[in-house]
Structure 1
Amino acid sequence: MSAQLDISLLTWSLTIGLVMALLAVDLIVAAKRPHHVGIGEATAWSVGYVAIAVGFGVWFTLHYGGGPGTEYFVGYLVEKSLSVDNLFVFVIIMTTFAVPDQHRHKVLTFGIVLALLMRAVFIALGATLLSLFSFMFLLFGLLLIFTAVQLFRHRDEDPDIEDNVVVKTSRRVLPVTDDYAGGDLFTREGGRRMVTPLFLVLVAIGTIDLLFALDSIPAVFGITSQPYVVFAVNAFALLGLRALFFLVQGLLDRLVYLSVGLSLILAFIGVKLILQWAHEDIDESVPEIPTLLSLAVIVVVLAIVTVASLVKTKRDPSAKAHSGSLRARRTAAANREQRRTADRRK
Structure 2
Amino acid sequence: MISIGTPLLWSLFAAFVVVALIVDFFAMSRQGSHAVSIKEASIWSLIWVAVSFFFVAWLWWFLGGTGQDPVTREMADAKALEFITGYLVEKALAVDNIFVFLMLFTYFAVPAEFQKRVLMIGILGALVLRAVMILIGAWLITQFHWVMYVFGAFLLFTGVKMWWAAGQEPDLDNNPALKWINRHMKISPTFDGEKFFTVHNGVKMATPLFVVIMLIGIVDIVFAVDSIPAIFAITTDPFIVLTSNVFAILGLRAMYFLLASMHERFHLLSYGLAIILVFIGTKMMLIDLYKIPITWSLGFTVLTLAITMILSLKIPARKGASSTSFPFSPKERGGSKDS
TM-score where L is the length of structure 2: 0.89
1:207 aligned residue (194, 211, 218)? 218
What's the CA shift string for 1:288-324, capped at 9, x where partnerless? 10000111111111111111110003xx685855202
2:141–2:147 CA contact under 8 A, matched in 1: yes
Q: Does 1:9 align with 2:7?
A: yes
2:150 maps to 1:151: no
Greater Cα offset, 89-98 or 183-192: 183-192
Q: Once the two structures are aligned, what percentage of the paired residues are identical?
A: 37
For residues 1-346 of structure 1, the aligned pairs below 5 Å read: 4-32=2-30, 33-64=32-63, 65-189=76-200, 192-276=203-287, 279=288, 286-313=289-316, 321-325=322-326, 329-332=330-333
Per-residue displacement from partner, 1:182-239 (whole Å, max 9, x unpaired)? 1111234466443211110011111011111111110011001011111111111111
Instruction: Quote the Cα distance in structure 1 between the aligned partners of 2:20 and 2:266.
Output: 29
- The aligned amino acid for 2:101 is F
Tell which deviates more after alignment, 26-35 or 105-114: 26-35
**Separation in 2, partners of 1:116, 1:160:** 27
- More divergent stretch after superposition (224-233 vs 23-32): 23-32
Taking the aligned partners of 1:103 and 1:117, their CA distance within structure 2 comes to 22
The structure-2 alpha-carbon separation of the partners of 1:9 and 1:159, relative to structure 1 and needing over 3 Å to count, comes to farther
For 1:63 and 1:222, locate their aligned partners in 2 and report how far apart those are by CA, in whole Å.
24
Task: Say which is worse superposed, 96-105 or 155-164, in terms of deviation.
Answer: 155-164
Matched residue of 2:106: which SS? Answer: helix
Could you tell me whether the CA contact under 8 Å between 2:270 and 2:323 is conserved in 1?
yes
| Gap change, CA 1:196 and 1:326, over 3 Å in 2 | closer
Residue 160 (structure 1) shift: 3.4
Contact kept? 1:154, 1:326, Cα under 8 Å: no
Distance 1:209 1:177 in 2: 24
Unaligned 5+ residue runs, structure 2? Answer: 64-75
Distance 1:162 1:234, change over 3 A: farther
Could you tell me how far 1:27 is from its partner in structure 2? 3.0
* Alpha-carbon offset, residue 328 of structure 1: 5.2
> In the TM superposition, what whole-angstrom CA distance separates every residue of 1:149-181 from its partner, at most 9, and x where no partner exists?
101111112443343433322222222222221
Residue 66 of structure 2 is matched in structure 1 by none
CA distance in 1, matches of 2:50, 2:285: 34
What is the one-letter code of the residue matched to 2:142? S
Size of the aligned set, in residue pairs, is: 324
1:92-150 deviation per Cα after TM superposition (whole angstroms, max 9, x unaligned): 00011110011011111111111111111111110110011110110000000000010
CA RMSD of aligned residues (A): 2.1
- Contact residue 171 and residue 333 of structure 2 kept, 8 A: no
1:47 partner letter:
L
Q: Does the Cα contact within 8 Å between 2:44 and 2:254 map onto a contact in 1? A: yes
Q: Give the TM-score of the pair, scaled to structure 1.
A: 0.87
